[in-house]
Amino acid sequence: MTRFIDFLEQNTLPARVIEHAHVWLLDHLARESSVLPLRDTGSFEDGGERVPAREHRARRVRLAASARDVVFCDNELPVWLYRSFGSPGFFERSLQSLLEQRIAPVADSRAKAEGDGTFHCETVARPWGTAKRHKHIFDAGLPHRTNNSRLTRSEVTSKFLRLVHPVNWFLFPAGLTRDAEQNSAPEYQHVAAAWMARRCPGVFREFVELSRPEGFGWNPNWLHLGEEHAEKLRMPEEAPVPAAAESVRAVKSRLATATPTNVRCFDIRETATGRFHLADFGVSTGGINRDIPVVFRIVDRRDNVLLESQPTTAAALHIAARGRVDYDRDGFHQRDIVVHDSSNGQVKPASAIGRRIPWKP
């Protein structure tokens, strides 16, 4: 079995490229007029209203507390930079010019950003194919409830550097990604951090000093733990390559032709207090079963079916995500999917999930 640290040795950008990128990124950060790419997590304040950052990807946005201009991105920009770093003459052009001239993509081609101040959107080809994933050692995003407009300058700096700095990147075998993304295998991040600290000690030290505000998840024990795991952490000789993602058209076609024999039924039963919770959904229908068609039924305490859905899937509803088999951990099991409508004695959707479910008339 190959050591994970040997995999990193073979799949990491050269130290000299990381060092050049470090100077290049800090120069961009030092310019007040620069637009700072941030991961599209959390929200921001627009005209006194809090709006999701994801809905404003690829637009230039001013954050109030930090007085910095930013652009919310997905992971296309880091992937594009990873692919471009080391190209002859690349560092002769500033990141600002690459953004303003619509050369560097900030979001995939599905992002629908229009109007003035819009940056380039393009789905970037992964030179490593489907066998590997581009990962961040320290999380580049924020909790979904975070208000980006209230971030301090140091926090904006942290978000920017964690997203685009190559010392915070590593490639990861796709077959192991599920465990790592669930945080059930953090030793891989620990080893990657220790590896980078040894490979580029000066750059890593300065990166950590600039990107570890309290509350952003930095823990000095990571390096110690990484050194402990470095020699013993193993990985499969050949990580399994995941199957290609099913297209939206294919999903709709499969659901339209679903028969009672291949559709699961999930009953949401009324509690003694008249509530309707999505309890235990992930155990039976989420996790590894996210693509299996399911019909939701709202059932009252007398076993009457009050509402029934068309066939759908957990994946289509964007729930029970990341292969999680216990959906209750996500906290949604205490929210009402539907509520009683006092005006007509029936039930109606009462949550975002409830409204996404395709209910029958």
pLDDT tens sequence across 113-128: 444 557 888 888 888 8
Domain boundary among 206, 235, 264: 235
126 and 54: one domain?
yes
187 in the same domain as 75: yes
Same domain (yes/no): 226, 298: no
Q: Which of 280, 277, 265 has the alpha carbon at shortest distance from 329?
A: 280
Domain boundary among 235, 269, 304: 235
What integer is the mean pLDDT of 231-243? 59
Regarding whether 111 and 64 lie in a shared domain, the answer is: yes
Q: What is the pLDDT of residues 201-225, one digit of tens each?
A: 999 999 998 987 555 555 667 677 7
> pLDDT tens-digit profile of 157-200?
999 999 999 999 998 877 665 555 444 467 888 889 999 999 99
Q: According to the model, what pLDDT value does residue 53 have? A: 86
Give the span between the Cα atoms of 302 and 297, in whole angstroms. 14
Are 194 and 337 members of one domain?
Answer: no
Q: Are 266 and 286 in contact (CB under 8 A)?
A: no
Q: What pLDDT sits at residue 326? A: 41
- The answer to whether residue 266 scores a pLDDT higher than 90 is no
- Alpha carbon 278 to its chain centroid, in Å, reads 23
Residue whose C-alpha is closest to residue 82's, from 105, 112, 58: 105
273 is written with which tokens? 């207090």
Do 265 and 228 fall within a single domain?
no
In a domain, 243, yes or no: no
Average pLDDT score over residue span 250-269: 61
Are 102 and 161 members of one domain? Answer: yes
Q: Is pLDDT above 60 for 17?
A: yes
Domain contains 241: no
In terms of domains, do 201 and 300 share one? no
Q: What is the pLDDT of residue 225?
A: 75
Is there a domain that residue 194 lies in? yes
**3-state DSSP assignment of residue 41:** coil
Can you give the residue range of the structural domain that contains 78? Answer: 2-235
Question: What three-state secondary structure class fits 36?
Answer: strand
231/272 same-domain check: no
Identify the pLDDT of residue 175: 65
* Mean pLDDT, residues 219-232: 76
Q: Are residues 284 and 212 in the same domain?
A: no
Q: Which residue has the tokens 């404003």?
A: 56
**CA 228, 234, 240: angle at the middle one, nearest 5?**
145
Which of these three, 235, 270, 299, is where a domain ends? 235
- Residue 240 domain flag: no
Distance CA 15, CA 86 (A): 11
User: Region 41-61: what's the mean pLDDT?
Assistant: 84
- Is 319 within a domain? yes
Confidence tier at 330 by pLDDT (50, 70, 90): very low
What is the share, in percent, of the chain residues with pLDDT greater than 70? 75
Burial letters 104-122, b for 16+ CB under 10 A, else e: bbbbbeebebeeeebbbbb
Number of domain units in the chain: 2
